Amino acid sequence: MQFTVHLFARLRDLVDSDIVSLELGESPTIADLRSRMMVQYPIVASILPRCLIALNQEFAQDHETITPGSELAIIPPVSGGSS
């Protein structure tokens, strides 16, 4: 199945796009999405384990299943700010 994934901040910069399309197998999990991203976009491998993944606008755990039509987003860790 084909899924669209929204990327933010550093991930968007590394991939040079705010949206990517990933082919995942039947009944994929968030862990499958992470694995596929690392294969398809090896440049994100160092940051992806620390990223949060949102499934239908809620943070998801790696064991959760992705269903057809799901909204997916990967949010990298945030740093910086002012004091």
- Domains, the chain, in order of start with CATH, read 2-75 (3.10.20.30)
Q: Does the pLDDT value for residue 83 go beyond 80? A: no
Determine the pLDDT at residue 78. Answer: 79
Measured distance CA(5)–CA(1) in Å, rounded? 13
Residues in the chain: 83
Q: List, for residues 30-50, the tens digit of each pLDDT value.
A: 999 999 999 999 999 999 999
72, 57 contact by CB (below 8 A):
no
In this predicted structure, what is the pLDDT of residue 81?
Answer: 53
38 residue type, one letter: M
Q: Which two tokens stand for residue 1?
A: 């199945």
State yes or no: pLDDT of 9 exceeds 60: yes
State the average pLDDT for the chain. Answer: 93
How far CA 35 is from CA of 24, 78, 80, 83, in Å, comes to 10, 22, 28, 37
Q: Over the Cα atoms of the chain, what is R_g?
A: 12
pTM: 0.90
Task: Specify the higher pLDDT residue, 79 or 28.
Answer: 28
Confidence check: pLDDT of 24 > 60: yes
